[in-house]
Amino acid sequence: MNNNGIILREFRDVKKSYTLVFKNAFKFGGRTSRKEYWYGIISHYLLLIALGLIVAPIIGSTKNDFLRICFSLPFILYFIPVLIGLISIYYRRMRDIGKKSLFSFVLQICSAIPFLGIIFGIWTFVLLCLPSFDTKTNSTSFAEGVESYFLTWKNSFNYSGISKRKEFWIFVISTTIIAFPLSLLVSFTSNLFVILGNEQSIYFLKIIAGFLDFIGYFYFWGSYVVFCSLSVRRLRDVGKSPYWLILMMIPIIDLIPMLLWCTKTSIREEIQ
């Protein structure tokens, strides 16, 4: 299939997923595939952002309450069914990876907790990126995950060959898990030293803070280098040009290729 055919097929899938969010808005049973979930989520979020950018300036520029209601009403009428649809598709997607509704509900509540919600939000994101439960042919043990993580570091400057989906996400998830508490620890020690002052009795805190700053700096830039080479190999594995790495370097926008391409299986597996 040529590139035009692939683009047309993906566009049809996006359109179908977009429609199913409305059609199955009150359907909390059943299952939803990973592709349908992310296509539906991204398409609706993009449209909501676009509508917000159009409606907000108009509402802000007029002082007439009636006009404000008239311009706000279409946005509200669209937002409410979409919100219900996004909630129901979340439960169907979690059921598709083998999670019970009670677990999904608790995880959703925990994601709203200040501070801790970041950790639970990352966990939720990772779960929603998993393949369907029935299609899992094998699981990854902790030892295999650690081995894959260090092997990725070993290939920091290897821009040739390919990287499988499992290798890519093990590195991304592991790096996130390590970087988050490390950044908190660096921030805590630095602020503690500032609060206590420069007395000689707490001089050791300055040494610890400096050491942690160095570790954090080294880990951040080292992970960045590894991510670049890993992304090039992952893009090649799904049949995309390595030059798409430029798009993956832009904050927020990088989520689109990561979700659409880096969660796909190898192009060789699709051909087979």
Rounded CA separation 109/215 (Å): 34
- Shared domain for 88 and 186, answered yes or no, is no
Span 95-112, average pLDDT: 86
Does residue 58 contact residue 119 with C-beta atoms inside 8 Å? no
pLDDT band at 271 (very low <50, low <70, confident <90, very high): very low
* pLDDT greater at residue 162 or residue 52: 162
Domain count of the fold of the chain? 2
- Shared domain for 147 and 229, answered yes or no, is yes
Domain end (from 112, 131, 150):
131
Least confident window among 74-78, 114-118, 138-142, 157-161: 138-142
**Domain span holding position 73:** 1-131
Buried-exposed string 256-265: b where 16+ CB fall within 10 A, e elsewhere: ebbbbbbbbe
- 140 pLDDT exceeds 70? no
Rounded CA separation 168/72 (Å): 42
- Shared domain for 105 and 147, answered yes or no, is no
* pLDDT greater at residue 103 or residue 122: 103
- Shared domain for 148 and 271, answered yes or no, is yes
Tell how far CA 36 is from the center of its chain.
Answer: 16
- Shared domain for 142 and 257, answered yes or no, is yes
pTM of the model: 0.57
The token duo for 186 is 């660096």
Cβ neighbours for 80, distance < 8 A, ≥ 6 positions apart: none
